[in-house]
Amino acid sequence: MRRPMTGRASLPGKEYARQTESSGPEARASFIFQRLIVFVGEFLRHVPNGRLAACGLLMVLSAVTEGVSLVLLIPLVQLV
């Protein structure tokens, strides 16, 4: 069962962000990367594997159809 998210969980992150604001863009990029890694871990933990596989398959199929449409569009652009 999932626990409801509260604003208290992100408080240490906000404090860390305040501390690193004056440290420069490298510290800020590092903080954002760490938060992204935490988000991905939580996402993978809470989404069922079957749903992840289905979404991945849909993403691959959409990329393939995009590539095919671009290949078909090239001759039309060359005509103009």
Residue 58 has pLDDT above 90, yes or no: yes
Instruction: Report whether pLDDT(39) > 80.
Output: yes
pLDDT > 90 in the chain, percent:
50
- Residue pair 74/30 in contact by the 8 Å Cβ criterion: no
Rounded to whole angstroms, the Cα distance separating 75 from 49 reads 41
Model confidence, pTM = 0.50
The larger pLDDT score, comparing residue 51 to residue 26, is at 51
Q: Is 20 exposed, middle or buried (0-12, 13-18, 19+ CB in 10 A)?
A: middle
Non-local (6+) Cβ contacts of 61 within 8 A are none
Q: Could you report the per-residue pLDDT of 3-37, keeping only the tens digit for each?
A: 555 544 555 666 666 665 556 788 888 999 999 99
The residue ranges of every structural domain in the chain are 1-46, 49-80
State what percent of residues in the chain have pLDDT above 70.
Answer: 71
